Amino acid sequence: MTTETAASASDLAELISRINSDLYADTAKHYPPIHKLRLWRSRVKTKAADDVTIREGAPDQPKSVDDLSQRIEELEQEGHTLRVKVKRLQEAGKTVIAQREQWKARALAAEEHLETERTRRSKGPDRFDALRRLVAKELHPDFCTGGDLEKLMRQECFKKLWPEIDRLAEREQ
């Protein structure tokens, strides 16, 4: 290598290292090196562990093996009662969900029944009124085209039939 190439190579190496350090300095603000993160995480865990052991109002630490075994039994019993409560609540939740589905089905059936009743009733008076008009037209003595005898027969039929039709009409309303 010539001296010019060596000088330019060293200048180039220096320039590259300066660029890398500038790049690293910019990214270091946003992305700290991994080893710093690991130390920070381990410190956090240690702090959390210290917080757990040092609490105000925490029960006294057991002093013997008997105390520890008694505390373990108490915790096992508490765990068992909690599991029983959870099981009971799960069963109650299933029951409530089943009841909700039954009530929902009943409500939908009742709504459908009401809709059919509304439809039937809306058609019912129309049909009844149409029948009433037809009976009035056919039996009323004023619409008679025949003789006096026919008019008299229609009048008597109308007198007997029309009060019953009026009574049915009042009951519908």
Token pair for residue 55?
């609490």
pLDDT tens digits, 2-44:
555 555 667 777 777 777 666 655 555 555 555 544 444 455 4
Give CA–CA dist 36/48, Å, rounded: 18
Instruction: Write down the pTM of the prediction.
Output: 0.34
Token pair for residue 116?
């059919």
Tell me what pLDDT residue 22 has: 65
Question: Is the separation of the CB atoms in 62 and 71 below 8 Å?
Answer: yes
Give CA–CA dist 150/158, Å, rounded: 12
Tell me what pLDDT residue 79 has: 94
Per mean pLDDT, which of 54-58, 61-65, 97-101, 143-147 is the most reliable? 97-101
Confidence of residue 78 (pLDDT cuts 50, 70, 90): very high
Whether 150 shows a pLDDT value over 80: the answer reads yes
For 60-122, the DSSP string reads PPP-SHHHHHHHHHHHHHHHHHHHHHHHHHHHHHHHHHHHHHHHHHHHHHHHHHHHHHHHHHH
